[in-house]
Amino acid sequence: MAPQEFTATPPQNSTPNNEVAMSGSAPLPTASLVGSGASSGPTNQQIFDLLLSLQQSNAKLEARLNELEQAKSPGFEVVTQNDWQNSDDSSSEFIGAIDQGTTSSRFLIFNTQGEPIAQHQMEFKQIYPNSGWHEHDPYELVSSVTGCIEEAVKLFTQKGFSPSQIKAVGITNQRETTVVWDSETGEPLYNAIVWTDTRSQSIVRELKARAGADKLQALCGLPLSTYPSVTKLLWMLEHVPKVKAAYDNGTLAFGTVDAWLVYKLNGGPAKNVFVSDPSNASRTMFMNLETLDYDNTLIDFFKVDRSKIHLPKIVRSSDKEVYGALATGVLAGTKIMGCLGDQSAALVGQKGFDPGSAKNTYGTGCFLLYNVGEKPVISTHGLLATVAYYFEGKPVYALEGSIAVAGSVIKFLMNNFGFMESSEKINELAESVEDNGGVVFVTGFSGLFAPYWIDDVRGTILGITQYTQKGHVARAAMEATCYQTKAILEAMEKDSGKALQRLAVDGGMSNSELCMQTQCDLISIPVDRPKMRETTALGAAFAAGLACGVWKDFDELKKINTVGGAVFEPKMPKEASRKMFDRWEKAVYTCTGFV
């Protein structure tokens, strides 16, 4: 089906009023009224004298406060009684973090202890033009980010802080999602095609038959699939006239969400800050993992003319200068000093700086990253090789396993089947039964990602009987993510030659005690869940904070967010968990070839 005509419609500029009226009321002096007798009260004259004394004292105090405020005395700040306990010294430093995700955007402000002091979240429209298609409005990605910044900073100032205390901003973003725009006007030429989109299946099949296809993964770390950005670009070049015209004219700009956000937040074509960090650029299939630069062998394979397309410059994930600064809004002039793809940011936020560290983020999808050190490891077991981060020194690489459907299956049960009124109720529903009742839910709504990479499977529920209840299906839906995580973990151990000792977790589904215990039982190692689970945003803050000097080094970061978490220990015998997993694998291959 042909795509609908895309017309760029930028939102109207609107700046919320962020002024906060702060007032201080001086404490009233105490007084003792002593009458001439035990039963007598104060005389009128005594009351008059007291009121006059109070009025004079209050007037003197207010006059002194005004003098201090006008003199701008260092460290002086007037706050309300409700706010004083939230205020640090005015010299305290903070880092802002933009977290642009698949279904919402957020802005969080962290103190130097890694605690979020203020935050705001905005959901945006999900566009599904056809089966398997998933798009976002590029303008809404930007406006949701700027709106979150304004609202979060408003809350920040209401707590007695100043925007000037935010020393830098970091960005983390959904990866692979692809944006194209006119390099001269800055206007998007089509909706952003989201990482989950599978419309390029026929293109992928053609590419796999092309000579040299088997050499690509050794260069870029990614297998050919609908997942990387390049296949989305090729689809637009083939099906969207505006995109093809810009390409022919040499004005086509192509980038992942990080490049689009940095470009627009800096003011668009006026400043033309057009950069991308390696954790994002490595998801396009254009970047060589070893050189961290665009590879002509890769670009030529896809038959893209390098002279006709503008690609963002690949820069370090943490840097003082290259990302520019916010051009407008309440934080205008504040520098952007860090950028990481969301899963890399979560690894950094979990302090996975040492080889052998691993984390799993249970979000819309599910992503397991395993730090392999300063040399990329090309998987032979269905995993991706990617850049974890590039700060000072050498880049650090990771093995990655991606699950397309995780938290989104919970929304599916809620919105499509009416299983519960809110996604938070999934845990309660799953706990209403003792086990899955023999039900297996293969959540392959648009195929299965790592380590299977099966694109001709669709969502299938097996094992239903007359005994099956909603709780069994809910539990099976939750277990599907845990099964796929186990499959990825086993592949990682085969590729790396090392057994993982523990798994750090975060993301929405990690809030479920049942889900985390199930995960722990299936992989038979401890699962470590931190108290503060905004680790993706924290990772972006770390990247920016290291660049501007708010934090000195990894050793300092490792001390952050270490208290108050939970550690889940395996309770199920390994034989029982293996039996459950084998049944899952049987279900997966039963569904293969359905499309």
pLDDT digits (tens, 9 = 90+) for 365-381: 899 999 999 999 999 99
| 94-339 and 351-529+565-595 agree in CATH topology | yes
3-state SS, one letter per residue, for 322-390:
CCCECCCCCCCCCEEEEEEEHHHHHHHHCCCCCCCCEEEEECCCEEEEEEEECCCCCCCCCCEEEEEEC
Greater model confidence, 89 or 178: 178
| Topology annotation, domain 351-529+565-595 | Nucleotidyltransferase; domain 5 (3.30.420)
**What is the rounded CA–CA span in Å between residue 529 and residue 506?**
6
What is the 8-class DSSP label of residue 26? Answer: P
What are the C-alpha distances in Å from 93 to residues 62, 87, 114? 29, 12, 11
In tens, the pLDDT along 278-290 reads 999 999 999 999 9
pLDDT at residue 462, rounded to an integer: 96
Encode pLDDT of 375-429 as tens digits. 999 999 999 999 999 998 899 999 999 898 998 899 899 999 999 888 778 889 9
Higher pLDDT, 313 or 39: 313
Average of per-residue pLDDT across 95-115: 96
Res. 64: pLDDT tops 80: no
- How is 132-150 classified by DSSP, letter by letter? T--EE-HHHHHHHHHHHHH
Percent of the chain at pLDDT > 70 equals 85
CATH 3.30.420.40 for domain 94-339 = yes
CA–CA dist 215, 334 (Å, integer): 43
Instruction: Give the containing element (helix H, strand E) for 462.
Output: strand 460-462
The pTM (predicted TM-score) of the whole model is 0.79
- Parse the chain into domains and list their residue ranges: 94-339, 351-529+565-595
Q: What is the pLDDT of residue 14?
A: 42
Cα separation, 351 vs 354, whole angstroms: 8
Identify whether the C-beta of residue 376 lies closer than 8 Å to the C-beta of residue 290: yes
448-462, 497-511, 564-578, range with greatest mean pLDDT: 564-578
CB 544 within 8 A of CB 97: yes
Residue 84: pLDDT band (50, 70, 90) is very low
Asked if 338 contacts 317 with a C-beta cutoff of 8 angstroms, the reply is yes
pLDDT for 211 equals 94
Q: Secondary structure of the chain: what % helix, strand, coil (to 5)?
A: 35, 20, 45
Q: What is the pLDDT of residues 198-251, one digit of tens each?
A: 999 999 999 999 999 999 999 999 989 898 999 999 999 999 999 999 999 999
Q: What is the pLDDT of residues 437-496, one digit of tens each?
A: 999 999 999 888 899 988 888 999 999 999 999 999 999 999 999 999 999 999 999 998
Q: What pLDDT score does 533 carry? A: 87
Whole-angstrom distance, CA of residue 355 vs CA of residue 35: 79
On the question of pLDDT at 52 being above 80, the answer is no
